[in-house]
């Protein structure tokens, strides 16, 4: 095989590896490239180093994007809290705009549990934890259970 053919073969192999839709049998593909064993090993090492460098760049990009996502989520949560607070202070439960309707809705009451006071019958074994679904149903039906209560909350709805 001529040098330019080898270069093309390895470049095609690298592109095939990067193409997620194309299935590549590395062993067969490498076997099909005819050259001396020492040159082949050297070129495989270059291929590995190239892939390693690309993986490092992708990992850094993942970290950068993750940090950006977390920042956007924090800003979004801040805007939701601000909007919720503004609507509450204004005594409004719904605002209709040209594109969105923003409103305060009542969430399903959540079960708040003090495990130190909760009877063992409401603990789910291995590992012990409160059976919140059962507690919810009983509390909703009006039963009084030491260590558990229903607590209503609100959230912002954007439709």
Are residues 115 and 85 part of one domain? no
What is the pLDDT at residue 26? Answer: 65
What is the pLDDT at residue 47? Answer: 83
Are residues 6 and 25 part of one domain? yes
Considering the domain boundaries, does residue 97 fall inside one? no
Are residues 68 and 118 part of one domain? no
Considering the domain boundaries, does residue 140 fall inside one? yes
How far is residue 129's CA from residue 115's CA, in Å, rounded to a whole number? 8
What is the pLDDT at residue 51? Answer: 86
Task: Quote the pTM value.
Answer: 0.51
Are residues 119 and 61 part of one domain? no
How far is residue 28's CA from residue 111's CA, in Å, rounded to a whole number? 59
How far is residue 17's CA from residue 10's CA, in Å, rounded to a whole number? 10
Reported as a single tens digit per residue, the pLDDT across 39-97 is 767 777 888 888 889 999 999 999 999 999 999 999 999 999 999 999 999 999 999 99
Kindly report the average pLDDT of the chain as a whole number. 86
How far is residue 116's CA from residue 146's CA, in Å, rounded to a whole number? 10
Considering the domain boundaries, does residue 35 fall inside one? yes
- Domain of 154 in residue numbering reads as 103-158
Are residues 17 and 73 part of one domain? yes
Residue 91, SS3?
coil
How far is residue 140's CA from residue 117's CA, in Å, rounded to a whole number? 19
What is the pLDDT at residue 1? Answer: 54
How far is residue 151's CA from residue 107's CA, in Å, rounded to a whole number? 10
Are residues 59 and 37 part of one domain? yes
Considering the domain boundaries, does residue 46 fall inside one? yes
Are residues 67 and 15 part of one domain? yes
């Amino acid at each position: 095989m001529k040098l330019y053919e080898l270069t093309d073969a390895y470049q095609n192999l690298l592109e095939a590896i990067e193409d997620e839709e194309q299935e590549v049998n590395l062993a067969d593909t490498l076997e099909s490239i005819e050259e001396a064993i020492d040159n082949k090993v050297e070129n495989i090492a270059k291929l590995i180093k190239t892939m390693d460098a690309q993986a490092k760049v992708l990992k850094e990009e993942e970290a950068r994007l993750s940090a950006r996502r977390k920042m956007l989520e924090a800003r979004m949560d801040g805007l939701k809290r601000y909007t919720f607070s503004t609507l509450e202070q204004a005594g409004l439960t719904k605002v209709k705009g040209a594109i969105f309707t923003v409103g305060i809705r009542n969430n399903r009451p959540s079960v708040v549990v003090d495990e130190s006071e909760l009877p063992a019958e409401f603990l789910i074994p291995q590992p012990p934890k409160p059976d919140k679904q059962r507690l919810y149903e009983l509390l909703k039906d009006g039963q009084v259970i030491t260590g558990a209560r229903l607590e209503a909350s609100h959230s912002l709805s954007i439709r």
